[in-house]
Structures are given as structure tokens and as C-alpha cells.
């Protein structure tokens, strides 16, 4: 908030929000339900890109604070909700005579309602837990040890996401052993993604703090998830 009471404007906040929502929608639309095996390692295909949303979440919380990160989480929630609704409508429309790709459309975009519900709940809980932990750690560490905050928050946030998503989405459909295997594999890969991307996160955070003249500490923040106030 500026001295005159107006809302502060940032140069890059909106771009990061757009990138976050784009990554989120694409990873949920394309890779959520596919299980792949590479070099003997079984994992959900969405794992290749979904962790980027957590990296964006770390950057947002570190630079702009929990409240602005929460607003982006809600934007992502709205985006994947609309994506799921649009997919349902498009797949449900009766195909025209001579149209031969209905089966392919159903296979690609006809996600089961429980997968959509699992994705929404897991995403919302995981992202907000991630931001909350990072914001609290920033105060505890007095702004030091960024690597500890980004990795530590991801460890907790991704655990919440994985524990919710895979059992809710696939338990009873997949074999229990496969659910557990994919859940553990994906969780491990997500955390490793965060570790590998730490140098990139450092560079982006350093750039944004200088460019935006902002380094927010959530000392007086209302951490309720059900608000859009910044």
C-alpha cells in the first residue's frame, strides 16, 4: 500500500501470476493421469512440469508475501476449475456425423470427477501450506537461508499435495501398491526438482527484490486461506 492509500503496483507480479496459472493448467490437463516409466523409474507424467508451480509459489511468497501468493493460488484454482468444466462440456457434446475423434477426445480430456476433485483439493492445500511454511520460516530465519525456506516449504507442501491427490484420485482404481509407488516416486521427484532449481530460484528472487524494491515479511499477515485481500 502506498502512502496515499493506493494499492502498490509491481512490474512483474502479473507476469509471474500468468506463468504460474499456465504451468498449473498445462500440467493438470496433459500429464495428471498418465503413468510413465523411464530408466526403470515409474512416475506420473505431470511431475515433469507441475513442480514449477511450487517454485513460482516460493518466489511469490519470498518477494511479495503470503497474501499476494494466496491471491495467485486462488487464480490458479479458478483456472483449473474452468479447465475441468470446459473439458466436461466439450467432451459431453454429441459429435457431428462423420467426426471420428470422439474416443481420442474422451481419452485425453475426459477426466473422471474424482480426479478433478482430488486435483483441486490437493493443489489448494499443498500450495497454501507451501506458502505458509515459507512465510513463517522467513521470519524465523530473519530472511537468511533462502535455500532452507524454499526446500523446507516444498517438503511440507508437496507432502500435503501428494498425500491428498493420489489416494483420492486413484485408490480403488489402481492397485494400492501402484498408488503408493507413484505417490512416493512423484513426491521424491518434486522435492528433487526444488533442490535442482535452487540456483535459478536464487537468481529470480534476487532480481525481483531489486527490480520491485520489495522484500516482504509476513509479520502481521492474516493467514486465512479464504481471502483475496493483499
- In terms of pLDDT, which residue wins out, 8 or 15? 15
- Do the domain assignments include residue 29? yes
pLDDT band at 164 (very low <50, low <70, confident <90, very high): very high
Encode pLDDT of 56-107 as tens digits: 999 999 999 999 999 999 999 999 999 999 989 999 999 999 999 999 888 7
Owning domain of residue 110: 13-35+42-92+105-212
The CATH number linked to 205 is 1.10.1760
The pTM assigned to this predicted structure is 0.90
Q: Which one, of 1, 138, 3, 21, lies nearest residue 71 by Cα?
A: 21
Domain presence at residue 122:
yes
Residue 187 lies in a domain: yes
pLDDT tier at 45 (50, 70, 90 boundaries)?
Answer: confident
For 60, how many CA atoms within 13 A lie in the half-sphere containing its CB?
29
The arithmetic mean of pLDDT across residues 18-39, rounded, is: 80
Total number of domains constituting the chain? 1
Amino acid at each position: 500500500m502506498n502512502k496515499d492509500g493506493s494499492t502498490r503496483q509491481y512490474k512483474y507480479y502479473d507476469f509471474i501470476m500468468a506463468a504460474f496459472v499456465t504451468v498449473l493448467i498445462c500440467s493438470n490437463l496433459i500429464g495428471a493421469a498418465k503413468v510413465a516409466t523411464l530408466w526403470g523409474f515409474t512416475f506420473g507424467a505431470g511431475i515433469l512440469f507441475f513442480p514449477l508451480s511450487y517454485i513460482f509459489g516460493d518466489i511469490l511468497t519470498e518477494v511479495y508475501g503470503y497474501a499476494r501468493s494466496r491471491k495467485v493460488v486462488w487464480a490458479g484454482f479458478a483456472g483449473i476449475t474452468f479447465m475441468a468444466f470446459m473439458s466436461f462440456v466439450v467432451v459431453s457434446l454429441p459429435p457431428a456425423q462423420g467426426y471420428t475423434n470422439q474416443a481420442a477426445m474422451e481419452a485425453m480430456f475426459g477426466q473422471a470427477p474424482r480426479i478433478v476433485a482430488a486435483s483441486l483439493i490437493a493443489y489448494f492445500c499443498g500450495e497454501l501450506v507451501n506458502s505458509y511454511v515459507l512465510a513463517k520460516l522467513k521470519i524465523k530465519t530473519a530472511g537468511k537461508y533462502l535455500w532452507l525456506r524454499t526446500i523446507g516449504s516444498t517438503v511440507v507442501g508437496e507432502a500435503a499435495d501428494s498425500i491428498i491427490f493420489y489416494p483420492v484420485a486413484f485408490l480403488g482404481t489402481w492397485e494400492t501398491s501402484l498408488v503408493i509407488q507413484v505417490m512416493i516416486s512423484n513426491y521424491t521427484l518434486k522435492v528433487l526438482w526444488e533442490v535442482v532449481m535452487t540456483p535459478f530460484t536464487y537468481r529470480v528472487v534476487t532480481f525481483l527484490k531489486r527490480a520491485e524494491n520489495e522484500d516482504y515479511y509476513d509479520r502481521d499477515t492474516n493467514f486465512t486461506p479464504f481471502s483475496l485481500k493483499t
